[in-house]
């Protein structure tokens, strides 16, 4: 992964994920997003491996209606939250580019 910012950079407050389970962030001109699954948080570059478009059509809308997968709003590809692997759609077998994140002091930060 390309270095986006310094380790420890605060991306958002953990509570910012409460409404939709995810949050899009512009970090130095690169779109990324963080997504919560239970007590874990994962980060990815906001770019579908199929055609390179952002995954969200509406701000912070990255999760399927059932809350179990990340979904590309352009063509419906579905990705596992825990590793970003595409499990359905035109990019099956590809994966989202991970961004290392962690929870620190009720914030999501770059690891």
Report the predicted TM-score, pTM, of the whole model to 2 decimal places.
0.92
pLDDT at residue 81 in the model: 97
On whether the CB atoms of residues 36 and 17 are closer than 8 A, the answer is yes
Give the tokens for residue 53: 């478009």
- The stretches in the chain having pLDDT less than 70 are 1-4
User: What are the E-state strand segments in 46-85?
Assistant: 69-71, 78-80
Give the tokens for residue 58: 């509406």
> 28's torsion region: left (phi>0), alpha (psi -120 to 50) or beta?
left
CA dist 48 and 38 (Å) reads 24
pLDDT at residue 108 in the model: 97
pLDDT at residue 4 in the model: 66
On whether the CB atoms of residues 47 and 19 are closer than 8 A, the answer is no
Provide the CATH number for the domain formed by 10-110 in this structure: 2.102.10.10
pLDDT at residue 2 in the model: 45
């Amino acid at each position: 992964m390309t270095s986006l910012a310094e380790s420890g950079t605060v991306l958002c407050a953990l509570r910012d994920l409460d409404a939709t389970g995810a949050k899009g962030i512009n970090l130095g001109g690169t779109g990324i997003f963080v997504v919560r699954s239970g007590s874990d948080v994962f980060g990815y570059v906001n770019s579908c491996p199929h055609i390179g478009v952002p995954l969200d059509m509406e701000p912070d809308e990255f999760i399927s209606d059932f809350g179990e997968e990340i979904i590309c709003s352009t063509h419906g590809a579905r990705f596992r939250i825990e590793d970003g692997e595409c499990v359905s759609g035109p990019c099956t077998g590809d994966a989202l580019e991970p961004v290392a994140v962690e929870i620190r002091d009720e914030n999501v930060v770059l690891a």
